[in-house]
């Protein structure tokens, strides 16, 4: 098939332009991004073991329940993100440094489209409550899951179980135009429903795994609020 030279150079120009545009909107190396604020990403979502709750009245009930509490989980713990994922340094396309709570962590960088995944080069020892980390909501609620190297029973006193685990920490960032953002999930787990009075709160830098509700116990519900931490290259 004979190729029109004009069409060929037009297509080539489009490819070059696309590559140039991508590199322009991506992260430059080296560069440093400092946390500048937070913004809400969508409305409060509620999940039960049989799926997402769509009833507007029920969702409002969960929102008002949290807002009426002087220790509002979402309002207060959003403020507790101070020092969390504070500064990101991109040394080159493969290496970076994440500063969290004034502590620097060396990370390896992997890119997938607009997303940058920073994985710490050291292993982390942690302790999970009630269950092994791989069977815990803090693991299956996130889309990008870290590698787990070991899990073991640490303590069992009066029916309270603690498990030790070793893992590699992952951190997710996205680049849009000139803004760097980190997705953060704030979630409150209500054991046996909102009226039982038993709940616990946590947050993760990650995207939501949409089918995580399959692993909830019958009767448990989870209220999820998604935020973005924003960063500026100063």
Q: Look at residues 84, 83, 65 and name the one whose alpha carbon lies nearest to residue 75.
A: 65
Each domain of the chain, given as residue ranges in start order, spans 27-232
CA distance 5 to 221: 62
pLDDT in tens, 15-31: 433 343 333 368 999 99
pTM over 0.85: no
What are 49-65's pLDDT values in tens digits? 999 999 999 999 988 88
**In degrees rounded to 5, what are phi and psi of residue 29?**
-120, 135
With cut-offs at 50, 70 and 90, classify the pLDDT of residue 129. Answer: confident
CA proximity to 90, closest of 33, 152, 43, 21: 33
Return the pLDDT at 194. 81
Contact 133, 169 (CB under 8 A): no
Among 137, 129, 132, smallest CA distance to 47 is for 137
| CA atoms in the 13 A half-sphere facing the CB of 211 | 1
């Amino acid at each position: 098939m004979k190729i029109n030279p004009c069409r060929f150079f037009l297509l080539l120009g489009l490819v070059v332009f696309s590559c140039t545009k991508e590199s322009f909107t991506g992260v430059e190396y080296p560069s440093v991004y400092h946390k500048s604020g937070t913004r809400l990403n969508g409305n409060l979502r509620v999940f039960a073991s049989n799926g997402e709750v769509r009833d507007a009245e029920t969702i409002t009930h969960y929102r008002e329940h949290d807002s009426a509490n002087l220790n509002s989980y979402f309002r207060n713990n959003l403020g507790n993100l101070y020092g969390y994922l504070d500064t990101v340094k991109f040394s080159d396309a493969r290496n970076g440094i994440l500063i969290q709570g004034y502590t620097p962590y060396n990370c390896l960088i992997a890119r997938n489209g607009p997303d940058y995944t920073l994985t710490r080069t050291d292993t982390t020892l942690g302790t999970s409550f009630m269950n092994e980390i791989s069977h815990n909501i803090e693991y299956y609620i996130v889309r990008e899951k870290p590698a787990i190297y070991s899990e073991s029973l640490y303590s069992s006193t009066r029916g309270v179980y603690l498990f030790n685990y070793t893992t590699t920490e992952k951190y997710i960032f996205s680049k849009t135009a000139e803004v760097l953002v980190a997705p953060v999930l704030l979630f409150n787990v209500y054991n046996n429903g909102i009226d039982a009075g038993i709940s616990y709160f946590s947050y993760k830098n990650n995207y939501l795994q949409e089918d995580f509700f399959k692993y909830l116990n019958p009767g448990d519900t989870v209220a999820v609020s998604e935020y973005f931490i924003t960063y500026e290259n100063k």
